[in-house]
Amino acid sequence: MILKRRMIIAGLLATTFCFPGTASMAGNRSGFQFSFDGFDGNPLPLSRFRDRAVLVVNTASECGYTGQYAGLETLWQNYRHMGLTVVGVPSNNFGGQEPLEGEQIKNFCTLNYGVTFPLADRTDVVGRAAHPFYKWALAQAGPKARPRWNFHKILLDRDGKIAATFATAVEPTSDQVRRAIINALGAGS
């Protein structure tokens, strides 16, 4: 009996240490626990946006969908006073379409699209090296939360729970996204 208990404990410890974050991913229900590295080298904790709806979007500067930066900025300008924050998470995971890093990302987004919403530094969003936020999102919402290309969108409600996900081709300013934002803000019908 003692040997059996020790084997179970050893197995649980091995799972926890071999796959960091796995044990806590399924039970954790808030995206606000995660932090990205900001484009400026400073932490960009999502807890900074607690009690707000947050649209997290993996982006890229050399993608056919890069023009969506303008729509994301429009959302940010139109809904931030109501409690929305847009967070851009540049990623080089799809076709090597994000060669920029750090300040280069911010400069590109500002000069070309007038972006003023918060930006992370280049971050892996899929695979073994995926940022813990994306692993958590996958554990919470299943395959629909896994980015399949640049400009995949994950909307968190004011409690940090996943309210909706949107595929790359869904424009940020579409009625579908706007309705989900209004609902996540608690201002829907």
Catalytic residue among 44, 56, 63, 119: 63
Distance between CA atoms of residues 174 and 170, nearest Å: 7
Angle at 77 between CA 145 and CA 189, to 5 degrees: 65
- Taking a C-beta distance cutoff of 8 angstroms, is the pair 21, 135 a contact? yes
Distance between CA atoms of residues 155 and 64, nearest Å: 22
Active-site residue, 63 included: yes
Q: What burial letters (b/e) apply to 85-108, b meaning 16+ CB within 10 Å? A: bbbbbbbbbbeebbebebeebbeb
Closest Cα to residue 63, out of 169, 135, 164, 139? 169
* Strand arrangement of the beta sheet that strand 162-166 belongs to: 84-90, 53-59, 153-156, 162-166
Distance between CA atoms of residues 49 and 168, nearest Å: 24
Distance between CA atoms of residues 163 and 97, nearest Å: 28
Residues catalogued as catalytic = 63
